[in-house]
Amino acid sequence: MSETLYERFSSPDSRVLADPASSDFQKHHSRWTHMNYQTPAAIILPATERDVQEAVRNIPDQVKHAHATNIPFVVRSGGHSDHSTIASPGIIIDLSKFSNISVDTTAHTATLTGGILTGAVANTLADHGLFTALPNSHALGAIPYFTNGGNSLVNSLVGFASDQIISARVITASGSLLSVGESENTELLYAIRGAGPYFALVTQVTIRVYPFKLLGSDDGALWTGTFIFPTSAASSVANALETVLSDDRIHTAGSLTLATAPPTFQPALITSVGLYGSNSDEQASQIFAPFHALKPLVTKSARVKINELANAYAPFNVHGDFKRLRLAGFNHFPRDNWIEIPKMWLELIENCPDAKRTAFILAFDSRAPAVPSFESAIDMKGIRFWQTNFLWYSQEESAEAVEKTSEGVIEVMRRGQIEGEYRDLPSNWGCPLARRHSGSARLGKLGVLKRKWDETGVFGKQFLENQVNKRRA
């Protein structure tokens, strides 16, 4: 296989790694999580778009037919997903050598290529006085983040990450390289905006970007307040948050995080609040007053540039152990439900000490997400709150207890919610499609598109199975 591909590659920098014992193989096989950790037959590192296409076109037939799932390869950008893993004879196509970003400051667009990471996007845009929807991690593959929906701190300003996609270049299951946009292959643009990984290997996206002034800040900095409380203060903190959220004059976004906090690494409730607008020191102090009144153990407030906000989450990017993210969305603050979560978290880390780095986070925005002018593969209208379960444990035998607690937290948070309103982020691959891509018409359309563009399920069986079940019903 490696000899055949080398002959077809256009760039001498493209490589095929086929020795699992080699340091290069191990470097590119490293993953953020050891969940479902498998070793592929080879790791392909194309350095150009043409070589990515050659890699897809020339996956050997024996690999296509021998692999149990009939999925011959998976794509790796940042190595952060818990599904970018495959066993031999499957193959990983690693895009880390094929990576770039270019910015058009006049059109307010940026073009992202291959394995570019979210941190590189954030910092490059900031250098131009720009920002866009990006996560609180600098280590994610940017293209998968955008094509998987993409939740961010600026949902209420610009919408979700997938709403930013203007056009793309993709390699289909047949190996064809296509341009996708408002005037060509528009049905694929619909799918790529929120369900992209199921339909094609996306080599490039052009996205909308925005000037700092939309943040209400000339330099891209936001006032941020961090307040650390004992978990016993949960009810009072929830009351303070309700006070801040109820003031229509204030535009805030932030999180309530149950985690073991430095420097003592004892269980704590960490409240983080970001303020949009040109707030003075005095105004910020007044807005933060409900939290100051509770006498937090630790208080910190400062103006932080938007591209630097994710730096605080860098410890969560380390590779290894067993990690997973689980997100569930809400259109209101389920206060009475949330105050039950600290007890569940404390019981988990007491019973499973290796899971002490698990964090239960409620992300919030005082305003609803901006609604795009077009339809797409997702519908997150009105979702202002996200219960984000960051699962992290080191002993595999803890898996059942951690997952059970995580699902218990989601169940408690959804108490009183109508099932038809359940929303899961599209990147939660194990959750029902109806919660990630809500609406029977949307699911039906995605099923039709899947059968047209990937009938054999090269990019996964989702939507194919949904369409089969729909026909049987």
Q: Which residue has the tokens 């002993």?
A: 395
Write out the two tokens for 52: 């990515």
CA distances to 2, 55, 91, 92, 189 from 18, rounded to whole Å, are: 8, 14, 10, 11, 35
Write out the two tokens for 23: 């340091």
Write out the two tokens for 20: 């699992």
Among candidates 257, 244, 242, which has minimal Cα distance to 288? 244
Distance CA 61, CA 50 (A): 20
Higher pLDDT, 6 or 28: 28
Task: Classify burial at 79, counting beta carbons within 10 Å of its beta carbon; exposed 0-12, middle 13-18, buried 19 or more.
Answer: buried
Distance CA 460, CA 201 (A): 12
In this model, does residue 237 exceed pLDDT 60? yes
Per-residue model confidence as pLDDT tens digits over 122-159: 999 999 999 999 999 999 999 999 999 999 999 999 99
In this model, does residue 6 exceed pLDDT 80? no
Predicted local confidence at residue 472, as pLDDT: 34
Distance of CA 38 to the CA centre of its chain: 22
Instruction: Give the confidence band of 60 by pLDDT, cuts at 50, 70, 90.
Output: low
Predicted local confidence at residue 62, as pLDDT: 47
CA angle, corner 315, sides to 271 and 23, nearest 5?
Answer: 165
Predicted local confidence at residue 21, as pLDDT: 97
One-letter identity of residue 377? A
Cα-flanking dihedrals φ and ψ of residue 232, to 5°?
-65, -15
Among candidates 73, 81, 70, 76, which has minimal Cα distance to 55? 73
What is the average pLDDT across 356-372? 97
Per-residue model confidence as pLDDT tens digits over 368-416: 999 999 999 999 999 999 999 999 999 999 999 999 999 999 999 999 9
Asked whether the beta carbons of 80 and 137 are under 8 A apart, the reply is yes
Q: Which residue has the tokens 């519908």?
A: 379
Distance CA 107, CA 134 (A): 19
Per-residue model confidence as pLDDT tens digits over 255-311: 999 999 766 779 999 999 999 987 788 888 899 999 999 999 999 999 999 999 999
Distance CA 125, CA 207 (A): 12
- Give percent of the chain with pLDDT exceeding 90: 82
Per-residue model confidence as pLDDT tens digits over 68-110: 445 689 999 888 887 788 999 899 999 999 999 999 999 999 9
pTM comes to 0.94
